[in-house]
Amino acid sequence: MKLVRFGEPGAERPGLLDSENRIRDLSGVIADINGAALDPATLDRLRALDAGALPLAPAGARLGPCVGGVGHFIAVGLNYADHAAEAGLTPPAEPILFSKAPSCIIGPHDDVLIPPGSTKTDWEVELAVVIGSPCSRVHEAEALDHVAGYCLCNDISERAWQNERGGTWMKGKGAPTFGPLGPWLATREELGDANGRAMWLDLNGERMQTGNTENMIFRVPFIVSYISQFMDLRPGDVIATGTPPGVGMGRKPPLFLKAGDRMTLGIDGLGVQDLNVRDASRQAAA
């Protein structure tokens, strides 16, 4: 299944995509696409529905982030060796973990806002994992049993705040709009193997990132198992699994986002995001 959330920000309704990629309204069946809806029993109930019998969403409805009520929004740093190389860093022996603020999550076609004082806002196309059942100290061989599905993520980052302000990376990772998710959540059986998935990002029509999930240093089962050794993962938690090379920080000279830019990015099987970049200071003044 491809699960979506549609409607105005803060008032999204649950939906699924039918065989013709039309949004069908699930609000008569479940309250939201969130942790409570992502347990295996509820997903089985949704799979059994006749999608054609569900009402259609209004034409042109906005797509919101494909997961609501996210608790933990965790990310893995330097999980592609070639990205570590462009950053001038040694690939890690264990996953580097940091948090993104759940309040930074937006929809796949919403505006990305450059925060006041930012000078180095950057892009990162990533595969995100969505947890479907409680997960604590699980073995790698059982980790996928706790995954509801996958979605596309853009791990927007302010590099000066991340790397030049001391402390942890999370300073540069959680500003408002820094976590576009979607367009849809593909359940595990919908996507199949998360390895071997082509991924890309264009800036103003020019290809910046080209990669493949096959090149992750740490694969999804290991990542889920590893994180679960340090914290309990709960349904609806999201894990962004790292980015391939081609980020703005790694270019010579470096290139960062500015107002008026447009990012388009995708992962095979997980759809495409189109994101316009705006200046938060100017937007607030308007």
Cα 61 from Cα 53, distance rounded (Å): 19
pLDDT, one tens digit per residue, over 21-47 is 999 999 999 999 999 999 999 999 999
Task: Provide the residue count of the chain.
Answer: 286
Q: So what's the pLDDT on residue 232?
A: 98
**Is the pLDDT assigned to residue 286 strictly greater than 70?**
no
When mean pLDDT is compared across 3-17, 45-59, 76-90, the lowest value belongs to 76-90
The residue among 77, 75, 115 whose CA lies nearest residue 247 is: 77
Q: So what's the pLDDT on residue 82?
A: 84
| Beta carbons of 83 and 243 less than 8 angstroms apart | yes
| Beta carbons of 6 and 182 less than 8 angstroms apart | no
Q: So what's the pLDDT on residue 209?
A: 98
Q: So what's the pLDDT on residue 252?
A: 94
Helix, strand and coil percent figures for the chain, each rounded to 5: 20, 30, 45
| % of the chain with per-residue pLDDT over 90 | 93
> Positive or negative CA dihedral for 74, 80, 85, 91?
positive
When pLDDT is averaged across residues 118-140 and rounded to a whole number, the result is: 98
Calculate the average pLDDT of the chain: 96
**Is the pLDDT assigned to residue 86 strictly greater than 90?**
no
When pLDDT is averaged across residues 260-272 and rounded to a whole number, the result is: 98
| Domain 69-285: CATH architecture, name and number where available | Alpha-Beta Complex (3.90)
pLDDT, one tens digit per residue, over 198-221 is 999 999 999 999 999 999 999 999
| Beta carbons of 73 and 234 less than 8 angstroms apart | no
The residue among 131, 152, 148 whose CA lies nearest residue 46 is: 148
pLDDT, one tens digit per residue, over 44-71 is 999 999 999 999 999 999 999 999 999 9
Cα 111 from Cα 279, distance rounded (Å): 10
Q: So what's the pLDDT on residue 283?
A: 61
DSSP string, 29-80: T-S-SSGGG-SHHHHHHHHTS-GGGSPBPPTTPPB--SS-S---EEEEES-B
pLDDT band at 18 (very low <50, low <70, confident <90, very high): very high
Q: So what's the pLDDT on residue 90?
A: 86
**Is the pLDDT assigned to residue 284 strictly greater than 60?**
no
